[in-house]
Amino acid sequence: MQGWEGGEAWIHTAAWIERTRFAADVAAGRRDLLRTAPMENLFPIRRRRIARTALEDLLRILIPGGLTAARYRALLVTLDNLETENDALRFQEMVYAVLCLPEFHMS
């Protein structure tokens, strides 16, 4: 596998901080994930109410290559341990968690 010019140079502290800021902005609704597809279109409100359905939708769209079973289980544990019953906040936390996964940045 050839890779790309510059190799892993794009993986550095400043880039990671900016990527997590982007994730926080998308999760909070301050930015759209894609210019042509607002979050409301990608993830309809009715699908966000069931936590596992919302997580599976996020993973299907954002990480089409999927996750390892261990990573998926870790996300489910995180989801189960969220301290809010508010669907909107729960979804924001899920979006943020998925957008911060290395698998998202490498896909």
Total domains in the chain come to: 1
Q: Residue 99: inside a domain, yes or no?
A: yes
Give average pLDDT by consecutive 10-residue segment, the chain, 107 residues: 52 82 86 67 68 84 90 87 79 86 81
Query: Does residue 83 fall inside a structural domain?
Result: yes
Enter the pTM of the model: 0.74
Phi then psi for 37, rounded to 5 degrees?
-140, 90
Distances (CA, A) of 63 to 34, 83, 84, 92, 106: 14, 25, 25, 17, 9
- What range does the domain containing 62 cover? 40-107
Residue 25 lies in a domain: no
pLDDT for position 3: 46
- 66 and 59 in contact (C-beta within 8 Å)? yes
Q: Tell me the C-alpha distance between 99 and 33, whole Å.
A: 10
Nearest one of 31, 30, 82, 34 to 54, comparing CA atoms: 82
In a domain, 73, yes or no: yes
Domain assignment of residue 103, yes or no: yes
Running DSSP on this structure, what letter comes out for residue 64?
T
